[in-house]
Chains A and B, each alone.
Chain A
Amino acid sequence: MVRAVLVIALAATIFSHHPGHAADQPPAQSIMLASTTSVDNSGLLGHILPLFTKETGITVRVLAQGTGQALATAAHGDADLVLVHDPEAEQKFMTEGHGVDRRQIAWNDFIVVGPRSDPAHIAGGHDAAAALTAIAEVRALFVSRGDNSGTDALEHRLWRAAEIDPAKTGGSSWYRDIGGGMGAALNTASAIGAYTLSDRGTWLSFGNKGGLAVLVEGDPRLLNRYDVILLDPKKHPEAKQEAARRLAEWLISPQGQDAINGFKIDGEQLFHPLAVSPK
């Protein structure tokens, strides 16, 4: 019995010397990037960050959270910079004095996806608010993130534009607030045949589309801009300013922009560099 404990302890010692453990990477050489699931789960960061690390020797640890949670993590001081996509929440973060040097690094767009049977007949449209109105009118199932993420914030702006409060319009009978990430929302929509709002990056890299298809795209309101923000040293002196700034500057440098431009899945471009940014 004593021996059982010793065996566990011994095994633990052996296993704790795995590569990538804290002791192998001096902390000065690594920074914490609080980001959104859309840029991480899609594979973008996995594609571009190794190039940055190769060039600078700085390891980037990625926390993939929703924009709301990523900004909260940074506001607690637990990240060195953020990469997010909710202009309103970012503005608030800046106003509260947490951030400096907010810069756009890439963009793509949001899309409304839904079942191919399309009970609300929105396929082919280019007006997101009109599509949501049609969905609400027939009480077609709609999955909402409900997690304070950038996509969630845009969805609520679109409902406001459509002058509909889904919670007061029959509520949960058709409007399903799942309180989860983009992947969870797409899994749910795929399982119950519901509409949902997605960023294009997550959609293109998503593996369980089932009967879902892109139905509405091309509304200027569906523009999705990704910004990088550094932490204000006055408020967050413990953040690794210098290394974080190198990453932010690399992302908008020709090398970083080329790396973003070069990321494709099945020949489709997921994120666009700034040079082709719509104004």
Chain B
Amino acid sequence: MPASAFWAIFDTEGLWQIISLSLGVSLTASALASLAGVSLGSVLAVCSFPGRRLFVILTNAFLGLPPVVVGLTLYLLLSRSGPLAVTGLLFTPEAMVLAQFVLATPIVTAFVHRAVETAWGRYGGALMVDGASRLRAVPHLLAVERIPVLVAILAGFGRTVSEVGAILIVGGNIAGYTRTMTTAIVLETSKGNLSLALGLGFVLIGVSIAVSAAIFALGMRGGRWWW
């Protein structure tokens, strides 16, 4: 790519807004997915209840949930002629958060379940002897499995920040409103501006590496203070 084409990226109209919307949507979705996934994964690992196995199997099956199908399903639900029309969420950033939350939650849940289950097998007996209830053992288990759980959260973030199929359908790629890094790349490719599209891709990769590194570093430090 010629150098001039690279610098043209920074002339892209609303580039910073596109980056901040991308990060805003993906971070919100992955924060919610992390809360839901860490809780669900832990409960699935330490508690036994009817249907638990089925739940675990479904969670693992949803690791490969196709984004376009999630997008299309949400579109039909949120459409003005759909059952959730009153929410008025279609073609908004909030709808994109919802779609990415649905995609990332199974990933965090499955990875956390796996990590906590291992720790439970190893230390569960000892923790129970100490008189802790199963759920009260969870923070200790998460502390032991800090790195795998952090990786689970990063995998969730990775899924959200790179995704395009679902947000294109429920967000609509509206300029200045629901256009993100990934949908902008699709758009510039379709306009034949291939080097600009590729440049935006590099910016996206750089931003996502920086954010992942920050989450990991802060998570590790936080772990040392809190546990």
| Total number of B residues with any Cβ neighbor in A under 8 Å | 58
Q: Is B226 positioned at the interface, with any CB of A under 8 Å from its CB? A: yes
Bound-state CA distance A7–B215 (Å) is 7
Bound-state CA distance A237–B215 (Å) is 47
Residues 17-35 of chain A: 1 if any B CB is under 8 Å from the residue's CB, otherwise 0?
0111110000100001000
- Inside 8 A of B93's CB, which chain A residues have their CB? 16, 21-22
Asked if B218 contacts A207 (CB within 8 A), the reply is no
Q: Is A168 positioned at the interface, with any CB of B under 8 Å from its CB? A: no
Bound-state CA distance A233–B82 (Å) is 18
Asked if B174 contacts A207 (CB within 8 A), the reply is no
Q: Is B201 positioned at the interface, with any CB of A under 8 Å from its CB? A: no
Q: Is B17 positioned at the interface, with any CB of A under 8 Å from its CB? A: yes
| A8 CB contact (under 8 Å) in B31, B88, B92 | B31
Bound-state CA distance A128–B194 (Å) is 30
Bound-state CA distance A15–B22 (Å) is 9
Asked if A2 contacts B226 (CB within 8 A), the reply is yes
Q: Is B79 positioned at the interface, with any CB of A under 8 Å from its CB? A: yes
- Inside 8 A of A5's CB, which chain B residues have their CB? 31, 34-35, 38, 153
Asked if A76 contacts B222 (CB within 8 A), the reply is no
Bound-state CA distance A138–B88 (Å) is 53
Report which residue of A4, A19, A207, A209 has the largest number of chain B beta carbons within 10 angstroms of its beta carbon. A4
Q: Is A3 positioned at the interface, with any CB of B under 8 Å from its CB? A: yes
Q: Which of A59-67, A87-95, A105-113, A250-258 contacts B (4 or more CB under 8 A)?
A: A59-67
- Inside 8 A of A77's CB, which chain B residues have their CB? 79-81, 85
- Inside 8 A of A11's CB, which chain B residues have their CB? 23, 27, 31, 211
Q: Is A184 positioned at the interface, with any CB of B under 8 Å from its CB? A: yes
Docked complex: A179-204 residues within 8 A CB-CB of B = 180-184, 186-187, 190
Bound-state CA distance A20–B22 (Å) is 13
Q: Which of B48-56, B60-68, B184-192 contacts A (4 or more CB under 8 A)?
A: B184-192
Asked if B88 contacts A27 (CB within 8 A), the reply is yes
What does DSSP make chain B's interface, helix, strand, loop or mixed? helix
Asked if B80 contacts A1 (CB within 8 A), the reply is no
Residues 131-164 of chain A: 1 if any B CB is under 8 Å from the residue's CB, otherwise 0?
0000000000000000000000000000000000
Q: Is A78 positioned at the interface, with any CB of B under 8 Å from its CB? A: yes
Asked if B20 contacts A18 (CB within 8 A), the reply is yes
Asked if B191 contacts A4 (CB within 8 A), the reply is no
Q: Which chain B residue lies CB-closest to A182? A: B190
Asked if B20 contacts A78 (CB within 8 A), the reply is no
| B222 CB contact (under 8 Å) in A2, A20, A205, A207 | A2
**In the complex with contacts A4-B150, A32-B91, A238-B80, A20-B27 CB distance below 8 A:** no
Asked if B28 contacts A16 (CB within 8 A), the reply is yes
Asked if B80 contacts A76 (CB within 8 A), the reply is yes
Asked if B190 contacts A207 (CB within 8 A), the reply is no
**In the complex with contacts A12-B28, A22-B94, A76-B81, A4-B222 CB distance below 8 A:** yes
Bound-state CA distance A64–B23 (Å) is 23
- Inside 8 A of B215's CB, which chain A residues have their CB? 4, 7-8
- Inside 8 A of B189's CB, which chain A residues have their CB? 183-184, 187
Bound-state CA distance A181–B92 (Å) is 23
Q: Which chain B residue lies CB-closest to A4? A: B219
Bound-state CA distance A12–B25 (Å) is 7
Asked if B153 contacts A4 (CB within 8 A), the reply is yes
Bound-state CA distance A179–B24 (Å) is 32
| B149 CB contact (under 8 Å) in A1, A190, A236 | A1
Q: Which chain A residue lies CB-closest to B214? A: A7
**In the complex with contacts A3-B222, A4-B222, A186-B192 CB distance below 8 A:** yes
Q: Is B209 positioned at the interface, with any CB of A under 8 Å from its CB? A: no
Asked if A63 contacts B192 (CB within 8 A), the reply is no
**In the complex with contacts A5-B34, A7-B219, A8-B27, A187-B150 CB distance below 8 A:** no
Asked if B190 contacts A20 (CB within 8 A), the reply is no
| A20 CB contact (under 8 Å) in B21, B142, B192, B194 | B21
Asked if B21 contacts A1 (CB within 8 A), the reply is no
Q: Is B193 positioned at the interface, with any CB of A under 8 Å from its CB? A: yes
- Inside 8 A of B211's CB, which chain A residues have their CB? 11
- Please name 22 pairs of A and B residues whose Cβ atoms are closer than 8 Å in the assembled complex, sorted by A: A1-B38, A1-B222, A2-B139, A2-B222, A3-B218, A3-B222, A3-B226, A7-B214, A8-B157, A16-B24, A16-B93, A18-B17, A19-B17, A20-B21, A41-B187, A41-B190, A62-B175, A76-B80, A76-B81, A77-B85, A78-B80, A78-B81
Additional A-B contact list (12), CB under 8 Å, known A5-B153, A7-B214, A187-B190? A1-B223, A2-B226, A3-B226, A4-B222, A6-B222, A8-B157, A18-B24, A41-B187, A61-B91, A77-B81, A183-B191, A183-B192
